[in-house]
Chains A and B, each alone.
Chain A
Amino acid sequence: MKTKKMCAILGNVSKFHELLPLTENRPLDTLPFDCKYRLIDFPLSSIANANINSIFMVFNDGETRSVFDHIGGGKEWNLDSLQNRYFVYFYQDFLKQKEQGLPYFDSVIDYLEKSESEYTVLTGSNMLCNIDLRAVLKSHRNQKKQMTVVYKRMKREEISLNDSIIDVNSEGNAASIQKFKESEKGEQFNLCMGIYIVQTKWLIEQLNIGQKNDHSPSIHIFLENKIAEESTAAYEYTGYLSNIHDVTSYYKANMDMLDSNKFNSLMYSKQKIYTKLKNEVPTYYSENSLVKNSQCATGCIIEGSLENSLISRRSIVKNGAIIKHSIVMSNAKIAENVVIEYAILDKNVTVEAGVKIIGTPEHPIVIEKNQVVSTDKWRK
C-alpha cells in the first residue's frame, strides 16, 4: 500500500427541495455557478489538486444525465489517465439492498479495498469552497484521531435547519454535533461542512458493522453519526464558503462573485478550479453596451446594459435590454428593451422584446429552463 494515498467519496444525496425549480431535472451538484462552472467542479477540483486519483460518486437515480454530460471522461479533472478513475453509484441501490436485507455497503467496501488507499475523504457539493485537502490530511495525521471533520464559523443567517453544528472543545476536537435549531442562542456557529478524512481501513470496518446494525445508508449521515461515538478532530476552514441550500443562498453565492475579495478567494487561490472545457468564441461588447460590475463567460454578444449580473456562455443581450442583479445561465436570448432585475434565468431561456421580469433581493424570481417568456413576471 502506498502511504498517504487518498481516495474520495463524493456525493451528498440529500434532496434540496428549497432549490426547486432549479433542481427539477438535475442534482444540486450540476447547478451552474458563476457563468461557467457547476457546483461539483469545486469538490472535484479540490480532489484533483490533492492528487487523489480515484473517486466514488453517489447520485440519486434519474439525476445523472447532466452529471455525465458535464464530467464526460473526467479529463478536465485529471480522471482519465491510466492510473486515475471514477465510479458512479446510485443511492437508490443502497436503499433497495437495505430493504431486501442485503449488505448494502458492500459496493463501497469493495471500492475502498481496491483503491489501496490509506485515507478516504468524504465530501459533497453543497458547501461551496476551495479547500486544500492535503492540509486537512496533514492535520489529520498529526491529530492521530479516527476522524477529522471540517467546519467553518458561520453567521446564524447562513445556516439552514438541515445543517449540523459542531461543539469544538479546547483541544480542537469535535465534542458533539447536533442539528441546527431556530431556538439556538448565539450569532456564530461551527457549521459542519460534511467534509471528513478517515483511515480507509477503519472506514471499511465501520461500514461492515454499520450495515449489520441497520445504520443509515447515506455515508454522510453515517459519518456524521459517528462523531458522537468516536474521538474526532475538528479542522477549521477559513477560506470562502457558501452554504447552498435554497434559492436565496444559491443566488447570494453567485452574487458573492461580484465582490472582488470573495471572487479572488474562491477562484484565484493557489488551487485552480477546473471545469468542462468549451471552445467558445470571445464575448463581443457592442458600441452601445453599458456594463458595470458584472461577469460574463465567452460566446456572448452584449449590446444592452448589465449591472451586478452574471452572464453565462453563448447568451445574447440585445440593444436596450437592461439586466440588473441577475444570474443568466447559458444560451439565453434577451430581446430588445427587456428589463430583468433580481432574477435567475435557467439555461436556454428566451425573453421577448419589452418584457419585464422583476424579483426582489430576498426572493429572486426563477425562470425555468427552456422557457419562452412573453409576458411580464413580477414577484413582490
Chain B
Amino acid sequence: MKTEMLAMILAGGQGTRLGKLTKNIAKPAVPFGGRYRIIDFTLSNCINSGIKNVGVVTQYQPLALNNHIGNGASWGLDGINSGVTILQPYSSSDGEKWFEGTAHAIYQNISYIDQMDPQYVLILSGDHIYKMNYETMLEEHIANNASLTVAVIEVPIEEASRFGIMNTDENDRIIEFDEKPAEPKSNLASMGIYIFNWGRLRNVLLNSYSKDGQMLDFGKHVIPSYLEAGENVYSYHFDGYWKDVGTIDSLWEANMEFIRLENELDMRNKSWRMFSKNTISPPHFITETASVKNSLVVDGCYVAGSVKNSILSTDVQIKIGSTIENSVIMPGATIGKNAKIKNAIIGENAIIGDNAVVYKENDIEVVGYSEVIGVQSDED
C-alpha cells in the first residue's frame, strides 16, 4: 500500500510541568475546552488536511490516550485505506525499544512506517492547540523541492530563547538552526512540525544507528545534521493561533481564551471542524437558581450554582449556592453546595465538598483527577 504522507504524532512525553494533571495520563490526553482532549486538535488537523494514516507514538501512561483514540472512528480514521495505529515501545530480540528522543522514536518504528510506504512523513506533537492545514505545508515542501520543511511561527523576540530558532534567507530556506539560543538572531520558532522525505530520513536514521546512534532528537541532532550536509531545508510560516499547553498557566490561559466567541481558533467554523470522542450524555440542565455568564457548557452538565468566565466539561455538576469563576471544570467533576472556586483547574471526576474553597491568590489552583476536597453531602 502506497501512502503519500504519513503523520506520526509524538505523544509520549511525560509533561511533568502539568503536575497533578499528568500524574496518571499522558499530556495529549489531558482534557481541554469542555469536550476535547489536547490531541484532538492534531488528529482533527490530520483528517481535515486529507491525511488518512496516522501513527500515534505513545510511551508514558498511555491508557487514557489509547482508550480515547480507539480505532480512530471518532475522527473518521477508520475507513478503507485509512487508519490510526498506536505505537508503543516493545521488547524485541535486539533489546527494549524505549524511545529516547523524538528522532529515536521514529527510528524505533521504522518497520511500521515502511509498511505504510509513505513518500513523506509528517512529524507532529500531540500537545498543541491550533488549527493548521498540513496539506498546504506539503505543497510548499514539494514546490521548494525540499528534503525537510520545518513549520515556524513568529514569537516575541524576548521569548525566543525558549524555542528552537531558525535563521532563514529571503526564500525561506533555513541557513542556521539554534536550539534555545541565549542571543536569538531571529524570532522564527520551530513548532516541532516537520515534513521529511521519508527515503532520505530513513537513510540518515539507519546510518546513524548503525554507527554511533547520535540521532536522538530532531531539534538537537537531525536538523543540524541536515543543514551541515547541505540538504534543502525550508521553513513554512504559520501565523494562526498556536498554543503550547505544557504548563498549568498556559493550559489555564488557553482554556480561558477558548471561551471567547472571537477566539482566533474560530471553533464554530464548519469548514475546519474539531472532532473528539463523543460521550453519551443528555443535554445540559440550567436550573432556576443558576446563573451562567461568559462560559461554555456541554452535554450532561447540571448547573444550580453561579458560573462566570468558566468552562464546564461533560457531566459536571454544580450544586446550589456554589460560585465558579475563571475556572476549568474537567469532565465528571462534582461541585457541592456553597463551594467557591476561582482561578482553578478541577481535574476529571474530582469531588469538591460543600462549602469548600478552591482559590489561591496570584496562582492557578489545581485539583487532581478523582481528588476529593472537603466533605461531600449525603443528599442527592
Q: How large is the interface on B (under 10, 10 to 19, 20 to 34, 35 or more residues)?
A: 20 to 34
Are A292 and B286 in contact, CB atoms less than 8 angstroms apart? yes
Q: How far is the CA of A37 from the CA of B152 in the complex (A)?
A: 44
Are B287 and A301 in contact, CB atoms less than 8 angstroms apart? no
Chain A interface main SS type: loop
Stretch at the interface among A85-93, A280-288, A350-358, A359-367: A280-288
Are A267 and B282 in contact, CB atoms less than 8 angstroms apart? yes
Scoring A275, A281, A292 by chain B CB atoms within 10 A of each residue's CB, the highest score goes to A281
Residues of B within 8 A of A260 (CB): 285
Are B293 and A286 in contact, CB atoms less than 8 angstroms apart? yes
Number of interface residues of A (CB under 8 A): 35
- In-complex Cβ contact of B293 among A268, A289, A295, A299 (8 A): A289
Residues of B within 8 A of A291 (CB): 286, 290-292
Are A283 and B273 in contact, CB atoms less than 8 angstroms apart? no
**A274 contacts partner chain B, Cβ-Cβ < 8 Å:** yes
Are A279 and B273 in contact, CB atoms less than 8 angstroms apart? yes
**A277 contacts partner chain B, Cβ-Cβ < 8 Å:** yes
Are B298 and A292 in contact, CB atoms less than 8 angstroms apart? no
Are A279 and B282 in contact, CB atoms less than 8 angstroms apart? no
Are A285 and B282 in contact, CB atoms less than 8 angstroms apart? no
Scoring B261, B275, B286, B295 by chain A CB atoms within 10 A of each residue's CB, the highest score goes to B286
Complex: chain B residue closest to A281, CB-CB: B267
**A79 contacts partner chain B, Cβ-Cβ < 8 Å:** no
Residues of A within 8 A of B291 (CB): 291
Known contacts A282-B311, A287-B293, A297-B299; decide if A263 and B282 are in contact (CB<8 Å).
yes
Contact pattern, A 127-165, Cβ under 8 Å of B = 1, otherwise 0 = 000000000000000000000000000000000000000
Closest Cβ–Cβ distance, residue A296 to chain B (whole Å): 6
Known contacts A281-B268, A301-B261; decide if A292 and B282 are in contact (CB<8 Å).
no
Q: How far is the CA of A294 from the CA of B298 in the complex (A)?
A: 14
A-B contact count (CB 8 A): 88
Chain B interface main SS type: loop
Residues of A within 8 A of B294 (CB): 285-287
- In-complex Cβ contact of B284 among A277, A281, A296 (8 A): A296
Complex: chain A residue closest to B278, CB-CB: A277
Residues of A within 8 A of B261 (CB): 284, 286, 301
Residues of A within 8 A of B280 (CB): 272-275
- In-complex Cβ contact of B282 among A34, A289, A294 (8 A): A34
- In-complex Cβ contact of A295 among B33, B267, B286 (8 A): B286
Complex: chain B residue closest to A308, CB-CB: B288
Residues of A within 8 A of B282 (CB): 34-36, 263, 267-268, 273, 295
**A298 contacts partner chain B, Cβ-Cβ < 8 Å:** yes
Known contacts A277-B278, A279-B275, A279-B278; decide if A284 and B296 are in contact (CB<8 Å).
yes
- Shortest Cβ-Cβ A-B pairs, 3 listed: A35-B283, A282-B296, A282-B34
Interface residues of B (CB under 8 A from A): 33-35, 73, 259, 261, 267-268, 273-276, 278, 280, 282-288, 290-299, 311
Give 15 new A-B contacts, CB below 8 A, not counting A281-B267, A285-B293, A287-B294.
A36-B282, A279-B276, A282-B34, A285-B295, A285-B296, A286-B261, A286-B294, A291-B290, A292-B288, A293-B287, A295-B283, A296-B284, A297-B283, A297-B299, A310-B283
